[in-house]
Amino acid sequence: MLSEKTIEELRGIVGGEHVHIGPAELVAYSYDATFQQHRPDVAVSPACTEEVVEVMKLAYREVIPVVARGASTGLAGGTIPVSGGILLNLARMNKVIEIDKDNAMAVVQAGVVTAQLQKEVEKVGLFYPPDPASLNQCTIGGNVACNAGGPRCLKYGVTRHYVLGLTVVLADGRVLRCGGKLMKNSTGYQLPQLFIGSEGTLGVVTEVILRLLPLPRVRSTATAFFSKLEDASRSVAAIIASGILPATLELMDNVCINASADYLSLDLPRDAQAMLILEQDGNDEAAVRKEVERMAEVVKAQGAFLVKVAATSKERDDLWKARRGLGPALGRLSPNRFAEDITVAPGRIPEMVHRLLEIGKEFGFQILVFGHAGDGNLHPSILFDNTKPGVMEQVEKAAEAIFDAALELGGTLSGEHGIGTLKREFMEDALGPVALSVMKDIKKALDPKGILNPQKVFPQRASRKGFIMALPTLGNDLPG
Ligand SMILES: Cc1cc2nc3c(=O)[nH]c(=O)nc-3n(C[C@H](O)[C@H](O)[C@H](O)COP(=O)(O)OP(=O)(O)OC[C@H]3O[C@@H](n4cnc5c(N)ncnc54)[C@H](O)[C@@H]3O)c2cc1C
């Protein structure tokens, strides 16, 4: 509980209408895209870096937890204010400050929605490649904090490859400006990289300088359908081994194909066990078409029974609708879904897919598989109904088996969603004790009072047991 004096002070910083303490408002700020929920004591929406500075100085002085929030589309529990305190909503900081065409760079506030930035830079012939499927909602600040990826990241890289500079408000309210409008910079430690992927635990990102590319003029998209999931997963490595670097190589299994077809009334082969979306882009139409034809040959050799090249932009948009609409489409299949984000080397996808099918059988769940297969990043999803007695224990065991399998295959826990509360108990297994203790030292140096996004990223329990069940879940925290 915060004192009335603290709430008044916050009102003085951001204006009374941007300080929310009503029960309904606090519930609205208690969720992300997982099943978790916990209310903050107050939600505050600053308009600029200076206001964030004043909020942080107050929080530091009074030792109040602060959780930065973009659009709360996170899939790891990162914005759940599990320790209460101040929820710092950055949605009002949504200005594209500058598009510098000559240098192919953009300067944006952290709350800019990713798709908004993409549209604005495309108007002047530039291109911001990172494209999380949530791009119509998520923010650049959230993308930086999670090092977000997306379908195009196989060819173009993830958020960290585009961040040239950051403005970060530190735990004690100091403003750190690091990097700059510079393509090369070897002056000291690469501080922007330290904050990328730090999930709001090291500082609040308020402004970002991004690198842009020329917008490719041509894009060609095809879909390949398989009667065996294993054939599709083998095709991923075969395409990359053939010397082609596709813009996109997305995998969807049979349940995902049918869920999308139902949700969006699309005409897709219902009995296909897997579908790959193959896309290439560039500036030379003939060369792009040739690479898509070459990919079609490779997947046919691996067992694809049908390959369709989108003939019109409407057909291409429909394919992308199917992929980007997967979240809500799958949401209709069961009351709950545990969606994971493991990553292995692309060549190990067939083994990983095999392990997922085995884990599904062992624990009695259907585990859906989709993801950015080209870069080895899969989103296996367990569908369940958490009102059924004992089901959460089984989900936990199946999820644990998925993480263990990914680590055994030389992979990692998260390719793009981050750790948050959901995977923190597995961090030592994934990183080893030395890397984890270096991370703890960094955290302590930058946030000695531990006020920035407490209980995230770092393990909180002696054992993994209860790693999901101990989390505050939806419905436990609703006001009476
Ligand atoms: C349907 C769906 C599809 C998705 N597809 C993808 C995908 O393809 N690729 C992908 O990478 N992710 C995907 N995600 C996950 C999510 O959209 C990303 O993690 C995204 O980067 C989160 O952005 P956000 O603005 O919503 O951040 P939030 O959820 O608000 O925050 C996420 C984390 O970042 C921290 N944070 C947010 N803003 C700041 C800031 N300004 N300064 C410091 N810390 C901050 C928060 O404290 C939290 O820890 C998907 C989610 C959904 C629901």
Distances (CA, A) of 361 to 29, 235, 357, 366: 37, 24, 6, 8
pLDDT in tens, 6-49: 999 999 999 999 999 999 999 999 999 998 999 999 999 999 99
Q: What is the pLDDT of residue 477?
A: 58
**142 Cβ closer than 6 Å to some ligand 1 atom:** yes
Q: What is the pLDDT of residue 211?
A: 98
Q: What is the pLDDT of residue 316?
A: 87
Q: What is the pLDDT of residue 475?
A: 66
The pLDDT-based confidence of 480 (bands split at 50, 70, 90) is very low
Question: Quick one: average pLDDT of 447-464?
Answer: 96
Written as one letter, the residue type at 283 is N
Delineate the domains of the chain, giving CATH numbers in brackets.
96-214 (3.30.465.10), 218-330 (3.30.70.2190), 334-418 (3.30.70.2740)
**146 Cβ closer than 6 Å to some ligand 1 atom:** yes
Residue of 29, 72, 79 with the most ligand 1 atoms within 8 Å of its CB, for mutation: 79
Q: What is the pLDDT of residue 307?
A: 95
Look at residue 479 and tell me whether its pLDDT is greater than 50.
no
pLDDT in tens, 360-390: 999 999 899 999 999 999 999 999 888 899 9
The pLDDT-based confidence of 336 (bands split at 50, 70, 90) is confident
Residue nearest to atom 36 of ligand 1 (CA): 142
pLDDT in tens, 224-244: 999 999 999 899 989 999 999
Give percent of the chain with pLDDT exceeding 70: 99
Lowest mean pLDDT among 12-26, 192-206, 334-348, 408-422: 334-348
Residue nearest to atom 1 of ligand 1 (CA): 327
Distances (CA, A) of 469 to 249, 362, 396, 476: 35, 20, 8, 12
pLDDT in tens, 280-312: 999 999 999 999 999 999 999 999 999 999 888
Distance CA 323, CA 374 (A): 15
Please, what sign has the CA dihedral across residues 462, 85, 67, 447? negative
pLDDT in tens, 135-194: 999 999 999 999 999 999 999 999 999 999 999 999 999 999 999 999 999 999 999 999
**159 Cβ closer than 6 Å to some ligand 1 atom:** no
| Ligand 1 center to 70 CA (angstroms) | 7
Lowest mean pLDDT among 116-120, 157-161, 391-395: 391-395
**72 Cβ closer than 6 Å to some ligand 1 atom:** yes
| Ligand 1 center to 245 CA (angstroms) | 27
Residue nearest to atom 14 of ligand 1 (CA): 134
